[in-house]
Amino acid sequence: MALHDSAIIGYAEVPTVRRSTRDVWDIGAEIVESLIASTGVEKAQIDGMILSSCSTGAGNIFWSQTTADQLGLELDFCQSVDIGGCSPVASIARASMAIDAGLCETVLCLFTDTQVAEDNRKMRAFADEWTNPLGYLGPVTAFGLLSTRYAHQFGLDPACLGKLAVTQRAHALLNPNAVPTLQKPITLDDYLSSRMISDPVRLLDCVMACDGGSGVLVTSRKSAERRGVTRMAVPVGYGERTNYRATDPIVDPTDTGHRIAGARAFAQAGLTPADMGSLHLYDDFIIAMMIQMEMLGFCKQGQGCDFIAERDFHFDGDLPLNTGGGQISAGQVGLAGGGTNLVEAVRQIFGEGDKRQVRDTRHALVTGIGGIPYGRNWASSNALILSGEG
């Protein structure tokens, strides 16, 4: 068997909110109910579950088991994936492996977090001792440093980044699940005049933490065919890299693990960047998308701004990007935020994008970013190619 012998047969998502008044397990239960209703799979037939990283559950060493208990699931396979924003995308590969190994047949991949309402994380790395005391406070500062480095090496046109921000916001206006706070259009002038947060990172470069969740149901292709499933999103290529260039004493933070992960995913799928009908790139900051485009082979390193200037990223353009608004304009659901773009990719392949439906539903690319170490690129990078043709 292989990766493409499994299939995503259903997806579900709750509206993203600025701060949840619901328990994270309540959100998960709604997603499970929605998946059951949309696929016809009975609850008892779900015999595997994979959870993404979760700020709410960070203090619970039995998070998978207690979540299964709260959802009333009896499982043959259970796992939490803890590579940050890469976790939802990584869950698809891990579900496929579990199915391939015969450990289970139908896997719930669940991505929920109420980070704003209940954040139970305790960071234990370099931050408390080395960076926080000096004012290097998390991702915004890290991306300020990364952006400054990129500008020094290659030059950086803010208007090109602004083009992506404006496009994503336009998509969010067509997405009823996007957080209401961001449901208003922006212009390029709005982007350029938004206040500096960590020079040269502007307010409208940044993601906003929110609460919510999403999920998908993965099963074997044979099982899907037995069930008479007529629509599916098939994983045909996957790559993952953690701690890229870890042994190099001096690392270029603009060179990321997506270079390796993307090449592996495209090679496995037998496809190229030109074959992608839509892009769903992890977007905690605008520049992260541009750097990923370079690393994934859509353009050469340092040529991201020129590439962006020459493309139309609207849902009906030549290279649709984050057609649900991405995390930046739909809201980042804590550490489960990578599920937002994954579910949107599945929605587009199913042809259910409604007013934002893309024309080419054959292949979609989804990526993840997990963790941001000091002075380096992100800790984990991954890339998943989904096919509507199998």
Residue 143: φ, ψ to 5°:
-75, -25
Half-sphere exposure of 252 (CA within 13 A, CB side): 14
* CA neighbor of 378 nearest in space, from 259, 207, 257: 257
pTM over the 0.85 mark: yes
Q: Can you list the pairs that 64-67 forms with residues at least 24 positions away whose Cβ atoms lie under 8 Å?
A: 67/25, 67/28, 67/110
Half-sphere exposure of 65 (CA within 13 A, CB side): 3
Contact assessment for residue 178 and residue 324, using Cβ atoms and an 8 Å cutoff: yes
Residue 56 region by backbone torsions, left for phi larger than 0, else alpha for psi between -120 and 50, else beta? alpha
* CA neighbor of 28 nearest in space, from 60, 45, 51: 51
pLDDT for 1 equals 55
* CA neighbor of 23 nearest in space, from 12, 34, 10, 14: 14
Domains of the chain in sequence order: 3-121+207-387 (3.40.47.10)
pLDDT for 390 equals 47
pLDDT for 134 equals 75
What tens-digit pLDDT sequence spans the chain (390 residues)? 589 999 999 999 999 999 999 999 999 999 999 999 999 999 999 999 999 999 999 999 999 999 999 999 999 999 999 999 999 999 999 999 999 999 999 999 999 999 999 999 887 777 777 777 777 778 899 999 999 999 999 999 999 999 999 999 999 999 999 999 999 999 999 999 999 999 999 999 999 999 999 999 999 999 999 999 989 999 999 999 999 998 888 889 999 999 999 999 999 999 999 999 999 999 999 999 999 999 999 999 999 999 999 999 999 999 999 999 999 999 999 999 999 999 999 999 999 999 999 999 999 999 999 998 877 889 999 999 999 964
Rounded Cα–Cα distance for residues 64 and 5 (Å): 26
